[in-house]
């Protein structure tokens, strides 16, 4: 079911943006350039903030005349958006928030940075999808999964699902690509007039034990699931089968990914399904995905304090569930946990991560909230040492490879210290 036209020119009048928007964009670009030049940061978000202050409707104006894809969900947004960007690049320039700045300022910055790009692939924080999508009228919304994340900021996951469901219902022209193995994502996407269902699997169902619509228990039977209220797993249009994604017409995308793990295969299947809607051949899309080796520093292999280190990001129970199997069974593991606003200050989710599987290997609790982590590891029966600075934690280990898993701001701090190696 390809979309009517790759570039939806018919939906938007090809007129120059209003003067107010042009001024806002010019000043935002200047501010971003100054910020970059002074080393004050990537600069983009500052520019986005300025543009939004000068033109409250700047998102809508900047989105006109582009084919926009939004990517949302609890885990995998940055990776999946990066995959889609890579797949669409042969068709033309793509505006993208590659650094994961997924709130409105970051989205505006990405659009301001590439004003002439015919495509935009934007990852969007779940709580901003309704507002952003109303303004951008995306061709496609990719809804990856829904589980608990940052309880104090994002809110209760079923409330997030209800918000997304209402947003989807207000987008009759948008195709919604959703993982039909995730009952909460399915409940939200079921409100779409144009759903595309991907059986992408999932290993974390603890947040979808109860139906998002009626609260009754979801019955699971193999891949199928249903609730007594009638909500049930729809028939998939795409199936992730091992290392390939196959659609109901038999079109196949081989996924020879360099990125590790089942979750990335799921992200790839979602990206292929979305790209196919925009007219990209699935096999060609799969081949493009094989060229990705890291995503905004995640999965990066680097040298820190003389050790070969692989850097992974995990910031909630579902993300940890996918990350633990990647860690092998020998190398020491340094876990860095912060509790800043962007991480969520409530770290109670640590108690839902099965850290018990790390017993028997060297573990270091690091990060600004290493004390909270250390308590959790103690109750999990995992002997460990504590060292708040993750780089010093690595330095203190015997020679050899190290797995370093960090949550959001701890991960970003590592990126800023990449010269420490």
Contact positions toward Zn ion, by CB under 5 A?
Answer: 211, 213-214, 227, 229, 231
The answer to whether 20 touches 58, Cβ cutoff 8 Å, is no
Are the beta carbons of 339 and 315 closer than 8 angstroms? no
Among residues 131, 152, 243, 346, the one annotated as catalytic is 346
Residue 187 Cβ, how far from Zn ion at the closest point, in Å? 8
Which residue's beta carbon is nearest to the bound Zn ion?
211
- Known binder of ligand: residue 180? no
Query: What end-to-end distance do the CA atoms of the chain give, in Å?
Result: 49
| Min CB(166)–Zn ion separation in Å | 17
* Minimum separation from the CB atom of position 190 to Zn ion (A): 11
The reply to whether 346 belongs to the active site is yes
- If you search the block for the tokens 């935002």, which residue do you land on? 28
**412: CB partners within 8 A, 6+ apart:** none
Question: CB-wise, 98 or 213, nearer to Zn ion?
Answer: 213
Which residues fall within 8 angstroms of residue 141, CB to CB, at 6 or more apart? 69, 70, 71, 72, 129, 133, 168, 171, 174, 175, 176, 177, 192
Closer CB to Zn ion, residue 42 or residue 210? 210
Residue 229 is assigned to a ligand binding site? yes
Coil/strand/helix, residue 217:
strand
Task: Using the minimum distance from each CB to Zn ion, give the nearer residue, 211 or 239.
Answer: 211
214 is in an annotated binding site: yes
Q: Which residues contact 183 (CB under 8 A, 6 or more apart)?
A: 205, 208, 211, 212, 218, 225, 227, 231, 233
Angle at 296 between CA 168 and CA 329, to 5 degrees: 105
Q: Which element (helix H / strand E) includes 82?
A: helix 77-88
Q: Which of 276, 261, 269, 274 is nearest to 244 (CA)?
A: 269
Distance CA 167, CA 186 (A): 14
CB of 189 to Zn ion, least distance (A): 15
Nearer to Zn ion, 56 or 217 (CB): 217
77 vs 158, beta carbon nearer Zn ion:
158
Nearer to Zn ion, 30 or 206 (CB): 206
Has 387 been labeled as part of a binding site? no
Q: Which residue in the block uniquely carries the two structure tokens 């308590």?
A: 375
C-beta separation of 37 from 29 below 8 A: no
* Residues 344, 150 contacting (CB under 8 angstroms): yes
Which CB sits closer to Zn ion, 228 or 301? 228
**Residue 277 and residue 139 in contact, taking contact as beta carbons nearer than 8 Å:** yes
Question: Does residue 353 come out as left (phi exceeding 0), alpha (psi in the -120 to 50 range) or beta?
Answer: beta
Helix axes 129-136, 104-113, angle to 10 degrees: 30
Q: How far apart are CA 331 and CA 400, in angstroms?
A: 8
| Packing angle of the helix pair 104-113, 44-54 (nearest 10 deg) | 100
How far is it, in rounded angstroms, from Cα 318 to Cα 149?
A: 9
- Binding-site residue ranges for Zn(2+): 211, 214, 227, 229
Indicate the annotated binding residues: 211, 214, 227, 229
What positions carry a catalytic annotation?
A: 346
């Amino acid at each position: 079911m390809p979309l009517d036209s790759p570039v939806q020119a018919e939906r938007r009048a090809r007129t120059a943006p209003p003067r107010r928007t042009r001024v806002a964009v010019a000043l935002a670009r200047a501010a971003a350039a100054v910020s970059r030049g002074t080393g004050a940061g990537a600069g983009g978000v500052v520019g986005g903030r300025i543009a939004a202050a000068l033109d409250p409707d700047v998102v809508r104006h900047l989105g006109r005349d582009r084919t926009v894809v939004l990517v949302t969900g609890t885990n995998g947004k940055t990776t999946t958006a990066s995959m889609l960007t890579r797949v669409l690049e042969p068709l033309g320039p793509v505006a993208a928030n590659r650094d994961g700045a997924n709130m409105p300022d970051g989205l505006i910055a990405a659009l301001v940075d590439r004003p002439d790009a015919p495509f935009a692939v934007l990852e969007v924080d779940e709580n901003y999808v309704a507002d952003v999508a109303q303004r951008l009228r995306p061709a496609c919304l990719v809804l990856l999964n829904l589980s608990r994340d940052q309880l104090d900021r994002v809110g209760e996951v079923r409330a997030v699902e209800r918000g997304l469901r209402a947003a989807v219902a207000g987008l009759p022209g948008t195709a919604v690509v959703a993982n039909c193995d995730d009952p909460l994502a399915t409940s939200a996407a079921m409100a779409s007039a144009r759903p595309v269902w991907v059986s992408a699997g999932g290993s974390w169902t603890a947040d979808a034990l109860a139906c998002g619509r009626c609260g009754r228990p979801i019955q699971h039977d193999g891949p199928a699931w249903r609730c007594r209220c009638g909500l049930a797993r729809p028939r998939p249009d795409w199936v992730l089968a091992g290392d390939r994604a196959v659609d109901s017409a038999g079109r196949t995308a081989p996924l020879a990914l360099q990125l590790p793990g089942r979750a990335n295969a799921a992200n790839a299947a979602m990206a292929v399904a979305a790209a196919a809607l925009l007219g990209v051949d699935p096999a060609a899309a799969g081949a493009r995905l094989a060229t990705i080796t890291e995503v905004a520093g995640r999965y990066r292999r680097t040298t820190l304090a003389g050790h070969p280190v692989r850097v992974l990001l995990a910031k909630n129970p579902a993300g940890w569930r996918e990350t633990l199997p990647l860690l092998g069974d020998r190398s020491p593991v340094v876990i860095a946990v912060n509790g800043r606003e962007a991480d969520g200050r409530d770290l109670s989710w640590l108690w839902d991560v099965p850290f018990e599987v790390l017993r028997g290997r060297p573990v270091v609790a690091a990060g600004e909230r290493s004390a909270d982590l250390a308590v959790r590891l103690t109750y999990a029966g995992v002997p460990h040492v504590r060292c708040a600075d993750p780089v010093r934690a690595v330095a203190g280990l015997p020679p050899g490879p190290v797995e370093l898993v960090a949550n959001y701001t701890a991960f970003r701090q590592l990126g800023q210290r990449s010269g420490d190696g």
